[in-house]
Amino acid sequence: MEKAIEVKGLVTHYGTREILKNVTFSIPRGMTTVILGGSGSGKSTLLRHIIGLLKPTKGNIFINERDITSLSEIEMIDVRKKMGVLFQGAALLNSLTVSDNVALPVTEHTKLQGSTIDIMVRMKLDLVGLSGSGGLYPSQLSGGMKKRAGIARAMALDPDLLFLDEPSAGLDPVTAAGLDELIVRLKKVFKITIVVVTHELPSIHIIADYAVMLNRGEIVFTGTMDELKMSDDPQIVSFLARRPPDDSLAPGDYLKTITGNS
C-alpha cells in the first residue's frame, strides 16, 4: 500500500492546551480515507496541520514523502496547489459568483487565459452537477449546492489530494447520498487520494476504503473498512452501532462532578 500521507508523532496545541497527543498513522494513495471521531476529538485540527495551515508542536507530516513541517511558507504554496480542501461549512466568498469562486484559485496560481479558465470552471461545475448555476451567488444556493460548489473550487487546480471536512453534515439523506456518489466518482475517474472527515455512517460504508479514528486527540484505530467492521474495540463497536460510549460515572465520582469537589 503506497502512502500519500504519513503523520509521525504529531503533538499539537492551541495555546497551552494539548489537542493531538502523539498521533501516528498513514493514509494510502488513491483511496478514500475517512477520519472518524467524536465532536472535539481533533479531526479538523488534524486536517489543518496536514494541509499546512498550522505548525505542530512536535512531529512530522510527510506529503508525498516530503516533510511539510519544515517547509517555508513559500515552499508550502507549491505543495498546497496539489491539495484541494472543502472546509467545514464550505467557506465560499459571498461577494463572488459561484463561477468566480471556482476560478479564483486558478487565476491566483496560473497564467492561463481568462477564456481557458472559463471553460475549466464550466467543466468543474459540470463535474459536481452545478452546470448552469455559475452565475448565482453563494447566498442563493441550498446547503447541498454550497458543498458541491466548494468541491468544484477544491478541484479547481486538479489536486491529487482532496480533503473534505464533514461534506454531508446538515444535509438531508438524499442530498448527502448524492454527495457520496460524487466522492466515489471523483476517486474513480481522477484516481486521487481523498480524505473525508465524517460522522455519517451510511456515507462511510459507501465512500470509505480506509479509516482513521480519533478519540480525545489519540488514535484508536487505523485500518481498512473490513478491519474496522471486524474490530471488537468497544469504542468502535458502539460507533458502528450508533450507541453512545459507556462513560457513566461511579456514584462517588458523580457526586464530585455536581458538587465541584474534586
Partner 1 sequence: MNIGLEAVTKNDKKAFYLSGEIDMHSSPVLRKELMKLVDRKITPLIVDFGGVSYIDSSGIATFVEVLKSMMEYGGALRLTGIPDSVMEIFRFARLDSVFDIYESVDNAVAC
* Binds partner 1 by CB under 8 A, chosen from 6, 22, 64, 190: 190
- Per-residue 3-state assignment (H helix, E strand, C coil) for 135-157: CCCHHHCCHHHHHHHHHHHHCCC
Which C-beta is closer to partner 1: that of 57 or that of 116?
116
Of 41-49, 93-101, 122-130, 236-244, the window that binds Mg ion (rule: CB under 5 A) is: 41-49
Least distance to partner 1, CB of residue 154, Å: 13
Which C-beta is closer to ligand ATP: that of 39 or that of 261?
39
Which C-beta is closer to ligand ATP: that of 37 or that of 138?
37
Which C-beta is closer to Mg ion: that of 44 or that of 110?
44
Answer with the entry of Mg ion, ligand ATP, partner 1, none that 112 interacts with (C-beta below 5 to 8 A by kind): partner 1
Which C-beta is closer to ligand ATP: that of 87 or that of 210?
87
44 binds Mg ion (CB under 5 A): yes
Residues 222, 25 contacting (CB under 8 angstroms): yes
Answer with the entry of Mg ion, ligand ATP, partner 1, none that 37 interacts with (C-beta below 5 to 8 A by kind): ligand ATP
158 binds partner 1 (CB under 8 A): yes
Answer with the entry of partner 1, ligand ATP, Mg ion, none that 74 interacts with (C-beta below 5 to 8 A by kind): none
Judged by the rule CB under 6 A, the positions of this chain that interact with ligand ATP are: 14, 19, 37, 39-45, 88
Binding site for partner 1 (CB under 8 A): 106, 109-113, 115-117, 119-120, 123-124, 126-127, 157-158, 185, 189-191
Residue numbers at the binding site for Mg ion (CB under 5 A):
44
